[in-house]
Amino acid sequence: MKQLGIFIKKEIYHILRDKRTLVILLGMPLALVLLFGFAITNEINNARIALVDLAQDELSQEISARLAASDYFTIEDQLPQVADIEPHFQKGKSKLVVVFPEQLQSNTRRGIPTSIQLIADATDPNTATTLINYAQAIIYSELQESTDNPKPPLHIQTEVKMLYNPRLKSVYMFVPGVMTVILMLVSAMMTSIAITREKELGTMEVLLVSPLRPPLIVIGKVIPYILLSLINTAVILMLGTFVFGMPVEGSLALLGLESLLFVVTSLGLGILISTRTESQQVAMLISLMALMLPTILLSGFIFPIESMPKLLQIISNIIPAKWFIIIIKNIMLKGTGFEFVWKETLILLGMMFLFIAASVRNFKIRLA
Amino acid sequence: MEYAISANGLTKKFGAFTAVNAITFNVKKGEIFGFLGANGAGKTTAMRMLNGLSRPTAGEAQVAGYDVYRETERIKQHIGYMSQKFSLYEDLTPKENIHFYGGIYGGSLSFLKQKSKELITELGMEAYANTLVKNIPLGWKQKLSFSIAIMHQPAIVFLDEPTGGVDPITRRQFWEMIYKVANEGMTVFVTTHYMDEAEYCDRVSIMVDGRIEALDSPGNLKKQFKAETMNDVFLKLTRP
Amino acid sequence: MRTILFILRKEFLQIFRHRVMLPLIFIMPIIQLLILAHAADYEVRNINLYLINRDGSQAAHRLIGKFEASPHFNIVGNAFNSDEAYRAIQNGQADLFIEIPVDFQRNLLRDGYAQLQSSVDAINGVKAGLASAYTNAIITDFNEEFRKEWISAVNVSDSPKAHLATNGQPPQSTNTHTLLSQPSPNEADKRSWEITASPYHHITISPSPITIRSANWFNPELNYQTFMVPGILVLLVTLVGTFLSGMNIVKEKEIGTIEQINVTPIRKYQFIIGKLLPFWIIALIELAFGLLVGKLVFDIPFVGSLWLIFGFSALYLLVVLGIGLLVSTVTETQQQAMFISWFFLIIFILMSGLFTPIESMPAWAQAITRFNPVAYFVEVMRMVLLKGSGILDIRIHLIVMSAYAIAVNSLAVLNYRKTT
């Protein structure tokens, strides 16, 4: 046991000596959570739009004023004619152009059908659709107010309740995701590289001939990373809670245990990778391509799994991060207890044993 | 007479630690100059200052007539260097390594083609010509490194423990190569901690803790310290 | 110049000799492109819906039928009380539930007004917003139909000026939304539900003959992949470029060969150029390859000039590779180089407008993106490939990128020390 302690100390020295990596490991969660919390969002604010006002009458000006007054839009430019729209888009100046036809107001008064055109640069389809929707709504309401209109008959009103995240903050979604990615990074990627490095430098051989038993060597190597992971978890949780007001509805203890489970599962993966690779560069690339990208893309962190093609949905099941994200969202946001996440927990446990068993097997083969 | 290398009070500090402490010496042209010392005595650091890899903290030195502060790039045109760490590309073949380094020194393609053929024959490495360097035995690799370091006919060649880990026969062959280039007029500056090798040098300096404690021909040194071998000289100096 | 050629030759030999490298450089990114283009999709399908129907009326059945027919929803269960439905959301079975109250149809006919309730799992704000928008669209649609039928049934003629909604939208780029129509179900913003649920959609009878027509230019089918693939190409070329160049010099440091080069009279700029060019060539070939896949597999329109794309890419790659080399010059081990590159790349990529629009960022974040080379490239790719922007349209991008290229590479040259 004392030997193990010494061994862990050595590993902690390695980590502490490499200041740059340490700063990044501790700074990354900070930067990511802050970025996701403040900057990465789909909300539309002050989108730049342009007008082609061929009417130049009271109504067109009222509508323009209304558009300008909304938080969604800023009027960037007035284009003299419709032909200017395409070059305008090509310059990338704005993404929506509102075209008021000639004699808008007089035609309207006389009952001659006219139409206001909304032309969107739909290279980004979602933004285009959203901008059109907002603009439509604003123009309708202006038209509605400029005339008195009775409420329609037979109206169905829908009351929408947004559960768990009433203000639809994206941070709620991203905090669990960032936490997962960071834990994966520290646990799987760092350990696989650290162990391979020892192999590459030849120091692994020295350790293996020492009286320390091989499993202890591996345990000694990973414990500091477990500590680092838990520190990161705490930092991310505190940021989420104190900076972004994210709730932790469920039990903190359960959350901690589940995080530990995920960390150990990731470590298992990291060790498995290291038993199969000989050089740091290969370990890094495998971790990057086979662990980090799937964890970011296929875990439901950024893109909803339900919308993916069937094949990707099936693949997503073998990604531990997917299950962990479900678990932490349940505990943090829905406040559910163990009875709601036991299935996911069981899957993670299964994966953990699988990875560790496979690593032990590989390790033995190497020694034999 | 003009010296190939002259150093005066050359010093290198890393923080509070003084690795090389005001060393002063001259190396004559065409001489084999041995630079001896225990591990950590400052040999490599001193050599790195001379060949322009490391900037001195104080003192002055000229190598091939150029100043080590201001004219490092000029120095580099006139020296060859074989570092302690093995420095050929392991994932290239001997031929490819020769082409690369020769190319950097400005050799023309036809020259390099001819030269690499010559070198490989000279070294008796035909069997390894197209093998990746990492699969070649260490002794061969060291000889190859040396050949590459002197390929551009530098005035001075710096060898940093060139025979570390090499068997006695290969070491012998290696020194024959050194003698050969020295006879052709090249100055050889070599560090080593094999004391028998010191006997092969024209003059040796012995460094202890960053200082040069003794400097003369092996014969004179043995007389001065009343010792049988250079090994005894070294032991007397380091364990007073 | 000849010196540079010798370095180039050596670098290529080393790259091609590594058996793992080539597939890693060329095949992995293409696989990533294929996967990413399918995974990186904000369009939401298969929303799991739970229903609580307390009204046995015909209206309720027809409304449910509409949800069943929608491609966006899967009805996964029926509940009798909201507790049960709530549990379904809690354990992740359902994304939302809709409650049809007792006497839904009767209230509607008697009071001219009825209320539905929907509760959405809003942890994923984007998805919740969409789910809610789709729900509203279906309900509004049903509302129209029901009203129309009822009004004609009781033989009350409609306002002659009212323009009724047409069901389904024309497949072309121009959708005519009359004042009766609901927002297009393609919308993708979390706030859009506020609009549809807002008083605006109470205007169901036109106050005037004004219609609002909308058109989606450059991507009339609103194909998300058309939008994403050029951006993903940027991502892949950037990743490969930075990692290859970032690892390179530091690798020579680790194995010690850099010393041997440092004692040669080689010029610093020669060394940096020699290190840069091989990856520059590889990345350009990779881009060409990626564009080909984009064209063949995803049918990406190449509206603008490919020369312009390659010209800009050439410039951009100098920046990316320069950053990689810069990282390489300041680090000691490959592990460090890798972590530092990873850290900056992830920030560059998240702030590039690739996944979320730059316009949505707060002002300070938008200001930061002006220093982000990835953001420029993403924008240029989309502008030129999808909109056909010309060299004048992207002149500012070109100027910024040139300045960047010069700055970064000069820094790399300055930072690379032959003498320590």
Q: Write the pLDDT tens digit of every residue in C11-42.
A: 888 887 777 777 777 787 888 888 878 776 66
Same domain, B72 and B188: yes
- For residue B96, list chain C residues with Cβ-Cβ distance below 8 A: 10, 13
Please identify, among B104, B125, B153, the residue that sits at the C-terminal boundary of a domain: B153
The arithmetic mean of pLDDT across residues A320-346, rounded, is 86
Q: Which helix (H) or strand (E) holds B60?
A: strand B58-63
Q: What is the ipTM of this complex?
A: 0.77
Q: For residues B101 and B148, is the Cβ–Cβ distance under 8 A?
A: yes
Q: For residues A247 and A175, is the Cβ–Cβ distance under 8 A?
A: no
Three-class SS of residue A116?
Answer: strand
On the CB side of A243, how many CA atoms lie within 13 Å of its CA? 17
Residue C271 has pLDDT above 60, yes or no: yes
User: Residue A224's closest CA among A21, A68, A82?
Assistant: A21
User: Residue B214's closest CA among B68, B227, B56, B59?
Assistant: B227
Same domain, B188 and B70: yes
Residue A279: how many other CB atoms lie within 10 Å = 14
Structural Rg of chain B based on CA atoms: 18
Please answer yes or no on whether C259 and B79 come within 8 Å at the CB atom: no
The arithmetic mean of pLDDT across residues B15-29, rounded, is 91
Please tell me the distance from the alpha carbon of residue C254 to that of residue B126, in angstroms, as a whole number: 30
The arithmetic mean of pLDDT across residues C354-364, rounded, is 80
Strand order from edge to edge, sheet including C73-79: A155-163, C113-121, C96-100, C47-53, C73-79
Please answer yes or no on whether A86 and C184 come within 8 Å at the CB atom: no
Please answer yes or no on whether A118 and C212 come within 8 Å at the CB atom: yes
Q: For residues A332 and A255, is the Cβ–Cβ distance under 8 A?
A: yes
Please answer yes or no on whether C113 and A146 come within 8 Å at the CB atom: no
- For residue B76, list chain C residues with Cβ-Cβ distance below 8 A: 263-265
The arithmetic mean of pLDDT across residues B211-234, rounded, is 88
Q: Residue B27 forms beta bridges with which residues?
A: B5
Q: Is residue B15 included in any domain, yes or no? A: no
Q: CATH 3.40.1710.10 in chain C, residues?
A: 47-215
Separation in Å, CA of A232 to nearest CA in chain C = 15
Separation in Å, CA of A355 to nearest CA in chain C = 24
Same domain, B177 and B188: yes
Q: For residues A252 and A328, is the Cβ–Cβ distance under 8 A?
A: no
The arithmetic mean of pLDDT across residues B167-185, rounded, is 90
Rounded (10°) CA dihedral C193, C195, C198, C202: -120
Three-class SS of residue B220?
Answer: helix
CATH number of the domain residue B212 falls in: 3.40.50.300
Q: Is the pTM of this model over 0.90?
A: no
Q: Is residue B55 included in any domain, yes or no? A: no
Please tell me the distance from the alpha carbon of residue B55 to that of residue C128, in angstroms, as a whole number: 63
Per-residue model confidence (pLDDT) at position C161: 35
Please answer yes or no on whether A116 and C210 come within 8 Å at the CB atom: yes
Please answer yes or no on whether C128 and A134 come within 8 Å at the CB atom: no
User: Residue B219's closest CA among B194, B193, B198, B190?
Assistant: B198
In this prediction, residue A213 has a pLDDT band, given cuts at 50, 70 and 90, of confident
- Percentage of the residues of chain A whose pLDDT score is greater than 90: 8
Separation in Å, CA of C341 to nearest CA in chain B = 25
Where is average pLDDT lowest: A160-169, A184-193, B213-222, C335-344?
A: A160-169
Per-residue model confidence (pLDDT) at position C385: 87
Residue C74 has pLDDT above 80, yes or no: yes
Q: Is residue B6 included in any domain, yes or no? A: no
Q: What is the distance in angstroms between the CA of the first residue and the CA of the last residue of chain A?
A: 26
Same domain, B149 and B160: no
In this prediction, residue A211 has a pLDDT band, given cuts at 50, 70 and 90, of low
In this prediction, residue C240 has a pLDDT band, given cuts at 50, 70 and 90, of confident
Please tell me the distance from the alpha carbon of residue A224 to that of residue C213, in angstroms, as a whole number: 62
Please answer yes or no on whether C2 and B103 come within 8 Å at the CB atom: yes
DSSP per residue over A185-218, as a string? IIIIIIHHHHHHHHHHHTHHHHHHTSSS-HHHHH
Please tell me the distance from the alpha carbon of residue C396 to that of residue C398, in angstroms, as a whole number: 5
Per-residue model confidence (pLDDT) at position C164: 35
Separation in Å, CA of C373 to nearest CA in chain B = 33
Please tell me the distance from the alpha carbon of residue C220 to that of residue C235, in angstroms, as a whole number: 25
Q: Is residue B171 included in any domain, yes or no? A: yes
pLDDT in tens, C174-216: 343 333 333 333 333 333 222 333 333 333 333 345 666 777 7
- Decide which of C164 and A146 is more confident: A146
Per-residue model confidence (pLDDT) at position C188: 35
- For residue A326, list chain C residues with Cβ-Cβ distance below 8 A: 92
Residue C171 has pLDDT above 50, yes or no: no
Three-class SS of residue B164?
Answer: coil
DSSP state of B209: T
Per-residue model confidence (pLDDT) at position C202: 33
Please report, for chain A, how many H helices and E strands are present, in that order. 16, 5
- 261-300 of C, contacting A, C-beta below 8 A: none
Per-residue model confidence (pLDDT) at position C122: 79
Nearest 5°: phi and psi at B24?
Answer: -130, 125
Question: How many domains does chain B fold into?
Answer: 2
Separation in Å, CA of B122 to nearest CA in chain C = 23
State the residue range of the domain holding B141.
88-153
- Decide which of A259 and A110 is more confident: A259
- Percentage of the residues of chain C whose pLDDT score is greater than 90: 10
Q: For residues C276 and C374, is the Cβ–Cβ distance under 8 A?
A: no
The arithmetic mean of pLDDT across residues B151-171, rounded, is 88
Interface of C with B (CB under 8 A): 2-3, 5-7, 9-10, 13-14, 17-18, 255-257, 259-267, 418-420
- For residue B72, list chain C residues with Cβ-Cβ distance below 8 A: 418-419
Per-residue model confidence (pLDDT) at position B61: 93
- Nearest chain B residue (CA) to C419: B53
Q: For residues C415 and C326, is the Cβ–Cβ distance under 8 A?
A: yes
- 68-127 of B, contacting C, C-beta below 8 A: 72-74, 76-77, 79-81, 83, 85-92, 96, 99-101, 103-106
Where is average pLDDT lowest: A38-42, B14-18, B231-235, C403-407?
A: A38-42
Mean pLDDT of all residues belonging to chain C:
77
Tokens of B184: 């052709």
Same domain, B162 and B234: yes
Per-residue model confidence (pLDDT) at position C210: 60
DSSP per residue over C16-43, as a string? HH-TTHHIIIIIHHHHHHHHHHHHS---
In this prediction, residue C43 has a pLDDT band, given cuts at 50, 70 and 90, of low
Per-residue model confidence (pLDDT) at position C400: 92
- Percentage of the residues of chain A whose pLDDT score is greater than 70: 90
In this prediction, residue C319 has a pLDDT band, given cuts at 50, 70 and 90, of very high
pLDDT in tens, B84-126: 776 788 888 888 888 888 888 877 888 888 888 888 898 888 8
Residue A2: how many other CB atoms lie within 10 Å = 6
Residue B153 has pLDDT above 60, yes or no: yes
Please identify, among B153, B175, B200, the residue that sits at the C-terminal boundary of a domain: B153
Among A307, A311, A327, A341, the residue to mutate for chain C (most C Cβ within 10 A): A307
Query: B54 in contact with C at a CB cutoff of 8 Å?
Result: yes
- 92-151 of A, contacting C, C-beta below 8 A: 92, 95, 104, 107-108, 111-130, 132-134, 136-137, 139-141, 143-144, 146-147, 149-151
Q: For residues A219 and A14, is the Cβ–Cβ distance under 8 A?
A: no
Same domain, B133 and B159: no
Q: Is residue B49 included in any domain, yes or no? A: no
Same domain, B74 and B177: yes
Please tell me the distance from the alpha carbon of residue C46 to that of residue A306, in angstroms, as a whole number: 6
Right CATH for C47-215 from 1.10.490.10, 3.40.50.2000, 1.10.760.10, 3.40.1710.10: 3.40.1710.10
- For residue C265, list chain B residues with Cβ-Cβ distance below 8 A: 73-74, 76-77, 104-105
Residue C167 has pLDDT above 50, yes or no: no
Three-class SS of residue A150?
Answer: coil
Structural Rg of chain C based on CA atoms: 29
Question: Residues near C392 by Cβ (< 8 Å), separated by ≥ 6?
Answer: none
Residue C155 has pLDDT above 60, yes or no: no
Q: For residues C267 and C229, is the Cβ–Cβ distance under 8 A?
A: no
- For residue A119, list chain C residues with Cβ-Cβ distance below 8 A: 214-215, 217
The arithmetic mean of pLDDT across residues C132-153, rounded, is 79
- Nearest chain C residue (CA) to B88: C257
Q: Which helix (H) or strand (E) holds C222?
A: none
Query: C391 in contact with A at a CB cutoff of 8 Å?
Result: no
DSSP per residue over B190-207, as a string? EEE--HHHHTTSSEEEEE
User: Residue A119's closest CA among A44, A49, A42?
Assistant: A49
Neighbouring chains to C with at least 3 Cβ pairs closer than 8 Å: A, B
- Decide which of C95 and C126 is more confident: C95
Same domain, B102 and B177: no
Please tell me the distance from the alpha carbon of residue B28 to that of residue A14, in angstroms, as a whole number: 46
Task: Domains for chain A: give ranges and CATH numbers.
Answer: 15-40+170-367 (no CATH), 47-146 (3.40.1710.10)
DSSP state of B130: T
Separation in Å, CA of B239 to nearest CA in chain C = 33
- For residue C3, list chain B residues with Cβ-Cβ distance below 8 A: 103-104, 106
Per-residue model confidence (pLDDT) at position C166: 34
Q: Which residues of A138-156 are buried (b: 16+ CB within 10 A; e: fewer)?
A: bbbbbbbebeebeebebbb
Per-residue model confidence (pLDDT) at position C200: 32
Separation in Å, CA of B136 to nearest CA in chain C = 17
Per-residue model confidence (pLDDT) at position B26: 92
Query: A306 in contact with C at a CB cutoff of 8 Å?
Result: yes
Residue B5 has pLDDT above 90, yes or no: yes
Same domain, B133 and B166: no
* The residue type at A315: I
The arithmetic mean of pLDDT across residues B139-145, rounded, is 88
Nearest 5°: phi and psi at C238?
Answer: -65, -45
